Amino acid sequence: MAKRLVCRECHRVQDAEITEGDACMACGSNSLTEDWAGYVVIGHPEDSEIATEMEVTEPGKYALKVR
Neighbouring residues of 35: CB distance < 8 A, sequence distance ≥ 6? 66, 67
Annotated binding site: 7, 10, 24, 27
A 10 A CB-CB count for 65 gives 11
Look up the domain containing 10 and give its range.
Answer: 5-66
**Mean pLDDT over the full length of the chain:** 92
Q: What is the CATH number of the domain that holds 26?
A: 2.20.28.90
For the segment 16-40, what is each residue's pLDDT rounded down to a tens digit? 777 767 899 999 999 999 999 999 9
Res. 1: pLDDT tops 90 = no
Q: Which residues are annotated as a binding site for Zn(2+)?
A: 7, 10, 24, 27
- What's the pTM? 0.87
How many structural domains are present in the chain?
1
